[in-house]
A and B are shown apart, each in its own frame.
Chain A
Amino acid sequence: MPRPEVKFVTFSIDGREVEAPEGAMLVDGAKYGDVEIPVFCYEPKLGEPVGACRMCLVEIEGIPRLQTACSTPVRDGMVVHTQTERVKEAQNSVVEFLLVNHPLDCPVCDKGGECPLQDITFGWGRGISRMVEPKRHFKKPLELSPLIAIDRERCILCYRCVRFSQEVSEDYQLVLHERGANSFVGTFDGHPYVAPFSGNIVELCPVGALTSRAYRFRARPWDIEGAGSVCTLCPAQCNVEFTVRDERVLRVLARENAGVDDGWLCDKGRFAYQSIHSEERIVQPLVREGDELRAVSWERALEAAAGALAKAKGKVGAIVGGQTTNEEGFLLQRIMREALDSPHIDARATGAAVPLELQRALAAPGLQATVPDLEFAHTVLVLGTDPIDDAPILDLRIRRGVRRHGVKLAVATSRPSALDPNAKLWLRYAPGAEQAFVAALDAALSGADGFDALAEAADADPKALLALAAMLTADSGSADDGAGGAHGGEDVVIVWGERLGVAALPALLNVAARLGLDGRPGAGLLELPAGTNGRGLREAGVQPNAGPGLAEPTQADGKSAREIAAAAAAGELTTLYLLHSDPLREHADRRLWERALERASTVITHASVMTDAIREHATVVFPAESYAEKEGTVVHPDGRLQRLRPAIGRPGMVRSEWQLLTDIAQRIGHDLGVLTGPMATQQLVAAVPFYAGLTLEEIGGRGVRWQEREAAAAAPAAPAGPFDAGTPAPAPMPNGALRLGTFRSIWASTEVEISPALRFLAARQQLEISPADAERLGLVTGDRVEVGADGTRVSATVTLRGNVPAGTIFLGEATAESSATELLGDQPRLVEVRPA
């Protein structure tokens, strides 16, 4: 769906001629003439205006009644007045009415000082109160949820929170009870409002009615400073503003960037800042002495690490976690390749390397879809990922496209998705049969033979697959906007998850080629990597088979993550460098990793929290910076380079990690030539041809998509397809056992577990099972069970889920206890479920 073109019209406001985009609401149009019209209920992010608060009444010549500026679009030649007696009278009236039931307890209200009601009362109110009657009273404050407190006396019934719940996050939990002056906000039956995006209502609330329980009474607006940065807790990389008081992050607010987050945050992004100041945080270097990790000086720790690395030349393996910046990853790969002769470095939690030619094809600039494309495409296919877990904010973007722009949504996943109810079409395939499924989709598009066999191998409904193919190739006839050119048809965006696996990628590229996605604006592929900075790390050369800029490596290929584990377990690699990574928790095949860590003579790690892997296996532990302390860049899944800026000082003995890496290099006799953070960025930019010329200033506060810069022409040539999709192995037949599928919940992370406010949401192991299988096994929701294969057992609590296909169960990865990674190996697994 092509984006609407913006045309400017001229209108007059308060005697000034102003040019504003046609169709903009007067409230927004007025800003082009520096006229502010006060609003409460108007918030374009929430959808269509509702005109409920009446604060924005203005006089328009030719219309007898005052009009709401929030709902009146600017028209050419319109004459608007906002300063007449009539308008002032109306504004005074609305302020007076709003204060009729407002308690005016500003001195003890968290919102005081940053409160739109205060500001508007001051700016547009009468300044006196004529109301002597008793106000309405509620018990206060009440818990709306463990995260949010509600003070109904302060509420001015602007409906923003209710509209958010109903029309943006679509959790349909918040409603207005009663009517008239008795109205109040709540959930239908009084249950706590727990939803992945609930915290946004705190920021939406124009008064102090909804407050964050984590922030309540912690600071006043004149105590705090705002520091813009980027949240690195997931690949969505939402732009945030940290509220800082005395070197502590006290709150996280959205920093709207239409290209990234649309101004929303998930609750993890909003509340997990507490992990930064957790008691459990590691704030000094530790070195193992016997069975114990002892706090030591930097000198000791660096010496220990450098010494071990220097001894192990050629036998070092490095695993890099998703929250690592481009610079840190880049510097570490330099050390590994240049100083240690060990190109064994990988950032992919999936374990396997992706052939370089596939990577280059997938990274072709013309093939990349952007985040806003999700909203304006004709069709969006969500393939092998559930955005709510993998990049939550994109879930909202997709919902917005469906709701407001009529995007046709298809969901093809093995696990039921939160987006199923919004989809025109959803279909399931067996976990482990991703390759077969994508190949079947390709066959359905091309009409090739073997479609039926592939669909069967994927255990997917062939009719649904054909319907999906028809949907992707639909031609509304209106697409001929000049941009389509040779392709015709409609704009399709495929959002796919890295979890889809390497084997499915050739077929995915073939599908993209068949749909003509390359070079088509508004269409393309959008990969959701498993790690926050998955894309940036690959581009920075943090992978065994490619150097910076997806270049051919100068040495022989190194080992992938899984190969590193196997080699370490076999004693071929003796030293492991874990940069922000806990492979026991995040990587498949936990048992292999346990053997690897056990066998390795030295394990060096950068970490902020003590985990089992560190406690038992680490030799040297460097305290890691939190994302609010880091300096550097990350790359958004759509290629947008974003800048992390330090918002607070580092606690304890924590040092910047780029510096730490250069120090280590120095001690093993290799000068990286980096003296400041920006110098690391410079080196990275110089090493990646398609970043050429990029500066931190250019990245700025909103980031830059490298594909949109001239240097993008330097991206490595993408090999021409079609690609050999191979012969997909069929999904294992359950035959009484059950197929195991896994996912990583948004709540499965240490940041959630150590944030007091969020702890109640931390992912616990749940067995998602279809009602049919549950009945067969005599299980009901809440039962404790053990899931096992080959002697390994994981315990879980049963949850029945309607859309789970019979014969398949799902377990979560990276949970604090009994993670599904214990059961994962090379091959798709069949498991048994037994009551515990």
Chain B
Amino acid sequence: MSQHILFDDIDEPGLATLQVYERRGGYSSLRRALQMSREEVLQNLLDSGLRGRGGAGFAMGRKASFLPKGTMDKYLVCNADESEPGTFKDRELMQKSPHMLIEGMVIAAYAADANRSFIYIRGEYELQADILEAAIAQAREAGYLGERILGSELSLSLVLHRGAGAYICGEETGLLDSLEGKRGNPRLKPPFPANQGLYQGPTLINNVETLATVPHIIRMGGENYAKIGTESSTGTKLVSVSGNVQSPGNFEITLGTPAREIIYDLAGGPFPGREIRFWFPGGSSSPVLLPEDLDLAYDFNTLAQAGSMLGSGAIIVVDDSVPVIDVALKLAKFYKHESCGKCTPCREGTNWTVKMLERLETGEATPMDLDIIASVQQQIMGNCLCVLGDAMAMPLGSMVARFRGEFEQHIEEARFRAGLGAPPEPSEVEIAGVGN
């Protein structure tokens, strides 16, 4: 069920050093790639079916193939601004095997014909940034970076840039603005980064895990890699499991593994005596799923069909000890705080949603307000400049829809506490959707 590719040897002591990484066969994929033509390397990436691991799940090889030909400066940017709540897989990868990322970046740069590369790492990842900086220095020393890498035609610079702590800088165009030294605001697309990205030049931008997978694809061959996982979701995926489970952590799974196996077998399941109330399959911005969805295969398409998404591969489990409204408010506050303010629906929608949810607590709300909350989420979805607004609207909309009974109960109780209404009927918390 779970084949280890990225996490094979991940706990090897000293893997972060060049010596150990090379001893484990590191950089042999780069040597092999440099023997091939750019087109062959790109073909391998296309054949592998590797989909972006950052959240959007766009085919990596295709994205690399979009970069225009020509002699201008082209950029490869690694998005290491891992800031989606619940996601912490890239942290482990960078911390334990930084050279895997560097090797992947050099190969990807070769495939995309990029000559300058950057890693944009979130500011809080100080330890990982220090480790990466040391690894970059080693790689440069050893000739894996710089001019004419390993005697080939390929030259590539690599700069590590630390972010300053804004969620929006994980959005690819916001990241590019921030990397250019501007306020990190998402840009209007099109033009897409492949055409006009960093400094208006062609730019390939990929997540850490995506790039770290590249050496393995070259080692195994793209077609062989594609045999792992399902047809539309090939390969393995790092999944961060957190929340109300007994052994949270990062696990490498083959795509298509049932979610139940991940949550129960790998992460230990809920604590004794607790039931899973709902779970986020792909980070805090994915619509929530219910216990009966646990048997879904964990891959891009199945989750999308179930009305949610695989996202960054972060499963957050919520059990019956947690009021759903607390989760909703926590989430809304996070997205309100992180909205950049550039576009109207996100800026005002997140702000308004928080105010409404807070009002539920004060007893001044009525069930009609739930309709407004739900409608506001609808108004945000699909109407924003980037996906941050949707990132709040999707899970919130799904929570209000699926747990309306509980929200209403909460409203009635709060009204009673505030001396505004009769005590509500003592009733079990209804979970809307159960039994439907």
Contacts and interface: CB of A to CB of B under 8 A. Distances in A.
Contact of B341 (A50, A134, A183): A183
A179 B383 contact: no
A180 B338 contact: yes
Contact of B188 (A50, A66, A180): A50
A183 B372 contact: no
Interface string B324-363: 0000000000001111111111011111100110010000
B148 interface: no
B183 interface: yes
Nearest to A184: B341
B339 A180 contact: yes
A743 interface: no
The 3 closest A-B pairs by CB, nearest first: A93-B379, A181-B351, A97-B348
Given A54-B343, A159-B342, A181 B188 contact: no
B343 A100 contact: no
Given A93-B383, A176-B183, A53 B355 contact: no
B336 A49 contact: no
Identify which of A68, A90, A93, A156 gathers the most chain B CB atoms within 10 Å of its CB. Answer: A93
Contacts of A98: 344, 348
Contacts of B183: 176
A54 B383 contact: yes
B341 A179 contact: yes
B160 interface: no
Interface string A65-99: 11010010000000000000000011001101110
B99 to A, nearest CB: 36
26 contacts: A50-B342, A52-B343, A54-B344, A54-B384, A57-B383, A93-B379, A93-B380, A96-B379, A97-B345, A97-B347, A100-B348, A100-B351, A100-B352, A101-B351, A130-B372, A133-B352, A156-B344, A157-B344, A157-B347, A159-B342, A176-B341, A179-B339, A179-B340, A180-B336, A181-B348, A182-B341
B259 interface: no
B143 interface: no
B276 interface: no
Given A68-B188, A98-B348, A90 B341 contact: no
A185 to B, nearest CB: 11
Query: Which label, helix, strand, loop or mixed, suits the secondary structure of the B interface?
Result: helix
Query: Which label, helix, strand, loop or mixed, suits the secondary structure of the A interface?
Result: loop
Given A101-B348, A131-B352, A133-B356, A52 B342 contact: yes
Contact of A52 (B337, B351, B352, B385): B385
Given A53-B344, A90-B379, A98-B348, 5 more contacts: A49-B188, A94-B344, A97-B379, A179-B341, A180-B336
A771 interface: no
A208 to B, nearest CB: 18
Contacts of A159: 342
A51 interface: yes
A180 B337 contact: yes
B382 interface: yes
Nearest to B341: A183
B347 A180 contact: yes
Nearest to A55: B344
Contact of B349 (A57, A97, A178): A97
Contact of A181 (B168, B350, B380): B350
B188 A51 contact: yes
Given A49-B188, A133-B356, A180 B351 contact: yes
Contacts of B355: 133-134
B379 A180 contact: no
Interface string B209-241: 000000000000000000000000000000000
A138 to B, nearest CB: 15
A181 B347 contact: yes
Nearest to B190: A71
A216 to B, nearest CB: 27
A584 to B, nearest CB: 51
A477 to B, nearest CB: 17
A169 B357 CA distance: 43
